[in-house]
Chain A
Amino acid sequence: MIRVRAPFLPALLVVLAVVAALPLAVNNNSLREELFLMFMLITLASSINIIMGYTGYVSFGHIVFFGLGGYFAFYLMQNFNAHFLVAALAGAIPASAIALVIGVPILRLRGAYFALATIGINEAMRTAINNFEPFGGAVGMFFNFSVYDTYGGARNAALLAYGVMVVVALATVTTSYLIRRSKFGLSLMAIREDQDVGIDPARAKVVAYVISSFFPALAGATFFFKNGIIEPGVAFDLLRSIESLVMCVLGGTGTVAGPIVGAALYEWLRGFLITTPALANFQLFLAGLLLLVVVLFVTAGLVGWLRNRYPVLRAYIQ
């Protein structure tokens, strides 16, 4: 619906693809590892943006789908020798099905109650998996390294995981963009502002929630495939959930570019702080301070602020 004069999506995808190709071109493994994490965070933040930015429901415990996707895929790979790509898809689908089942009741809640419910679900899921023996309980599951032989060794498996993570991130961004420009996206934004129009809010919200659960599940499958180990504490890590919310807010909720900018900026900042000896101890303090500044003074986030400050950018940055 937003009139766009510039080919925003193609330009964005090209930029991301070029960045993704960088570590392969210069053959730099540590850069690749960093970017793997960054594309994962872009996926998480952009997914949260669909339910939080567009629809107005702050999903604090969104990481639950990352964990579930990871667990389902891992289980299939380990016990049925499923190929990673098959397992990732086969793992993401039940994770989204769970989003459908829990979305119907909890999306009736609003504001803080919804946010609390999503935290509760994440914590309950972690505890349940902790005690679920087929998934290894509290110890979790880990690969025998021969698993990677199917993919031509551990190095190639890591490359495959990187490629898949990039594709998942691009797919998430594309979906986010298409939703924002569609009639469905308009209906989500109308729900966010409580407008009583001819939209069945219950249905639209659940659809948005299911979509926003699918990509984190794929990211989780990919992350833990590369990791070789999965355990409840890492899979359902609330801190990571909150971090992806922060990235979303930092970049600008409700915009397509916001979560990407937020994720990149947050990761860069954290890396900078951790590796600067004088600041390393203040890492979390400074990150918290930054969040405060954004929440108090730049509520629209970086991208939102730019769009408001320079209206001409509205046509170019979504």
Chain B
Amino acid sequence: MILQVDAVTVRFGGLVACDAATFAVEEGEILGLIGPNGAGKTTLFNAINGVHRPRSGRIVFRREEITGLRPFQVARRGVARAYQVVRPLNDLSVIANVTVGACFGRENLSLRAARTVAEEVLASLDLADKAEVPAGKLNVAQKKRLELGRALAARPALLLADEVLAGLNPQEVSAMLAVFRSLRERGVTVIMIEHLMHAVMNVCDRVVVLDYGKKIAEGSPQVVSSDPKVVEAYLGDPKAAQRFLEEAT
């Protein structure tokens, strides 16, 4: 077990964004975190990487409690995050952007060593030919890959991927999914927030479903997606879900 989220509650005033969420992530698995909009998925990421301090509950990463640590402290322990809204350093080259991730990741590498890591990461993401291009000039798909690259350059033990597939076309999605599979081969544990169900079905070993901040289901993608509670949360209509399922498979 690499990460344990134990009864984590995050509140914003009267709004309970995460309500005693509990789950565990095994080393080397790809866990899907799904749920309707506003279910608290991104808030849960924020709680894990220290952006928000949970009101109650515990988060344990590699047998060390990281509840309430600051984001940079969590990052140094090997948790990297690829954000949903990509904000690269537009004026700097792609490789400089990835170098930021490598410099200030788990290992605190020197600029030179970080650059080597960045080159490897760019090659693995098919961005090597864009290395010297200013990041601001990339298209959306390339920016998403750059964001993933920035996170991966930190050589994380755990990667929090927040909707990295959103806004990509089907070809770009399948290219990204290949990247995730190769991550699993390298032993990187991944939690991915994703709305693209067929992607979740394809790469996730397990899925946790949130609704109104509460975990309502957990299990293999197939089991979860036929769970009536999940179907209701998403669609309010079990029949529509059946169609949806058939589409996905």
What is the interface of chain A, defined by CB distance below 8 A to chain B?
A: 1-3, 182-183, 186-187, 189-190, 192-201, 254, 300, 304, 307-308, 311, 314
Select from chain A the residue with minimum beta-carbon distance to B118. A1
B72 beta carbon closer than 8 Å to chain A = yes
In the complex, which range does the number of interface residues on chain B fall in? 20 to 34
**A193/B88 in contact, CB under 8 A:** yes
Q: Which of A182, A193, A194, A196 contacts B72 (CB 8 A)?
A: A196
**B75/A196 in contact, CB under 8 A:** yes
Roughly how many angstroms separate A314 CA and B132 CA in the complex, as a whole number?
10
Given A1-B111, A182-B111, A196-B71, CB of A187 within 8 Å of CB of B91: no
Contact with A along B221-245 (1 / 0, CB 8 A): 0000000000000000000000000
Residues of chain B within 8 A (CB-CB) of A192 are 89
Can you show 24 pairs from A to B with CB atoms below 8 A apart?
Answer: A1-B92, A1-B96, A2-B92, A3-B132, A183-B111, A186-B96, A187-B100, A189-B100, A190-B104, A196-B72, A196-B81, A197-B75, A197-B154, A198-B72, A198-B76, A198-B105, A198-B106, A198-B108, A199-B72, A199-B104, A201-B72, A300-B91, A304-B91, A307-B91
Residues of chain B within 8 A (CB-CB) of A3 are 93, 132
**A189/B89 in contact, CB under 8 A:** yes
**A198/B99 in contact, CB under 8 A:** no
Contact with A along B22-65 (1 / 0, CB 8 A): 00000000000000000000000000011100000000000000
What is the interface of chain B, defined by CB distance below 8 A to chain A?
A: 49-51, 70-72, 75-76, 80-81, 87-89, 91-93, 96, 99-101, 103-106, 108, 110-111, 114-115, 132, 134, 150, 154
Residues of chain A within 8 A (CB-CB) of B76 are 198
Residues of chain A within 8 A (CB-CB) of B93 are 2-3
Q: Which of B71, B99, B105, B108 contacts A1 (CB 8 A)?
A: B99
Select from chain A the residue with minimum beta-carbon distance to B115. A1
Q: Nearest Cβ in chain A — how far from B34, in angstroms?
A: 23
Roughly how many angstroms separate A192 CA and B88 CA in the complex, as a whole number?
10
